[in-house]
Amino acid sequence: MNENPAEVLIDHALSLRWEAIPGAARERASVFLHDSLAVGVAGRNAAHADGVLEMAKGWGEGGAAGVLGRPGLRLPAASAAFLNAFQIHGQEYDCVHEPAVLHPMATVLAALLAEAERGAPVSGEQFLTAIVAGVDVAVTLGIAAPDALRFFRPATAGIFGCVAAIASLRAMPRVMALDAFGHALALASGTMQAHVEGKPALPVQVAGAARSSLVAIDLARAGMPGVEHPLDGPFGYFALMEKREELGAALARLQQGHRITEVSWKPFPTGRAGHGGIVAVQRLIERGLIAGAPGAEGLESLEYHAPPLIHRLVGRPAKAAMEPGYARLCLPFLAAVTLLRGTVSLGDFQRETLDDPQILALAARIRVVADDNPDLAAFVPARAVARTRDGREWTEDVAAQFGSPEWPLSGAEHLAKARACLAYAGLEHRHEALAQAIADMPGSADAVALLSDAGVMG
């Protein structure tokens, strides 16, 4: 392509204005701001979150920015960005853009909160516009890569979304914004090895992207020029981190609405690839297959036949002494919990549940089978096949992901998730205040002050 894609993306981010954004995208920006804040509040109780906090405190003192779910705590902006991003992604409950295989809000929101607090106040319209800009940019990089993930895209593409979002928020001069975008390449990182092993380095990588985006911005503000071709250069983003690119088609979609409208909720705190299996099991329960622990003893086997991406992401076997991060990416464990408890919730990843012999024995009868779907980013269609010891076979097809734009959460379901997240952090009494703050956001003169007054962050 003749155009420099970095320039196209930065120009897009800098040109956005709230009044010109269509109503559907405005509504989704507010909805996923609410969802991500609530998930980040719950993340204060994520595995290792307190350890990450103590580490971040060791980086230096300062009261520039607040942390979700920890009212009264103030940290330097970069430290707050790191911790907030870790908490938003730390329980696999944050929203996802499925075709891009990308969690855009964990990085973008954490970076924007930190930037908004360390500088001049920004209005609600500015803040929401920056969210739309950041998601557009990060997701564009994701959908431009049609092959299976080599690196952890929520972090590697996420840092570019963060930089674009901050450039939008602060209406940065074009040259400075492009320099910051160039610096993002030097700071982009994130390996899929953490996903393969189910290790908590996944949210650490998301956290690193949010924090590093502030570094990229500050280097540009200090007058340091960045590389001019961070995306399409011979050693740029796509050459290094993706097998190939279809960037022209992805950039063309910038003229066809906004990617925030394509983002999916996560109705369960697990890897997105596990959601179809959870829903299939719930439907089988409703049809009478299983009704609690005694019925589970009659299950001979359960297979979830799904696209290769599902097998790759959540097809791992359950095992003793699993880390919570591993279990959230293990469909046999998630399906077993659903069979016995009816759903999967935030409280199902404590040591007692992870080591429950009944759950582990049931999970041993469950496996994911990859089908021949050629779409390497597909989540559906899929089919659950259960066989019981009395010789019966039950099947349940999954044609759409619950929480996707095709099957969105209702308003009541969205609010129920937000309330449950706040309750998990002991802040359920702030539910109404946060919901009202989101409703008031577009007309607010100070977005961060509005959220602070809601009592969910310092």
Q: Quick one: pLDDT band at residue 389, thresholds 50, 70, 90?
A: confident
Q: What is the pLDDT of residue 295?
A: 46
Q: What is the pLDDT of residue 202?
A: 94
Tokens of 399: 């044609």
Q: Which of 174-178, 313-317, 375-379 has the lowest mean pLDDT?
A: 375-379
Q: What is the pLDDT of residue 296?
A: 55
Each residue's pLDDT tens digit, 8-45:
999 999 999 999 999 999 999 999 999 999 999 999 99
Three-state secondary structure call for residue 355: coil
**DSSP assignments along 247-262, one per residue:** HHHHHHGGGS--GGGG
Q: Does the pLDDT value for residue 390 go beyond 90?
A: no
Mean pLDDT of the chain: 95
d(CA 258, CA 260): 6
**DSSP assignments along 314-350, one per residue:** HBPPP-TT--HHHHTTBHHHHHHHHHHHSS--GGGGS
Q: Map out the domains of the chain as residue ranges.
A: 5-267+414-453, 273-398
Percent of the chain exceeding pLDDT 90 equals 91
Domain 273-398, CATH homologous superfamily name and number: 2-methylcitrate dehydratase PrpD (3.30.1330.120)
Predicted structure pTM score: 0.96
d(CA 379, CA 401): 8
Each residue's pLDDT tens digit, 146-187:
988 889 999 999 999 999 999 999 999 999 999 999 999 999
CATH topology of domain 5-267+414-453: 2-methylcitrate dehydratase PrpD (1.10.4100)
